[in-house]
Amino acid sequence: MIVRQEDLLDLENWARYWHLWVSASFLKSYLAAAQATPFLPSSIEQIELLLYFMLRERALRELGYELGHRPQQVLIPLKGMARLLEIPPPA
């Protein structure tokens, strides 16, 4: 599929919206299903901190993968990392 240059910003905004919506939906369902299990932290603060660091660790792995296998795609994980860096750590 070829995307017109003038459509890229709109498509990127919709992709970000879709990603956030799907991520929030998944996380809500996951936490509901796992709430009584021993592997899930007991407080929302601990869950937020765990998610904060896991997302950053995942972004670093994606960056490493793209650098090693598809350097022409490195901008994608860099943009994701930049968005994650805008989020302050949980208190």
**pLDDT averages per 10-residue partition of the chain, 91 residues:** 85 92 95 92 92 94 95 92 92 80
Sign for the CA dihedral angle at 86, 30, 53, 78 comes to negative
Total domains in the fold of the chain: 2
- Report how far apart the first and last C-alpha atoms of the chain are (Å, whole number): 44
What is the model's pLDDT at position 1?
Answer: 67
What is the model's pLDDT at position 3?
Answer: 81
Residue 21 sits in the same domain as residue 56: no
Q: Which residue has the tokens 């904060």?
A: 52
What is the model's pLDDT at position 2?
Answer: 83
Residue 22 sits in the same domain as residue 55: no
Residue 84 sits in the same domain as residue 45: yes
Range of the domain at 6: 1-36
Residue 49 sits in the same domain as residue 80: yes
Residue 51 sits in the same domain as residue 32: no
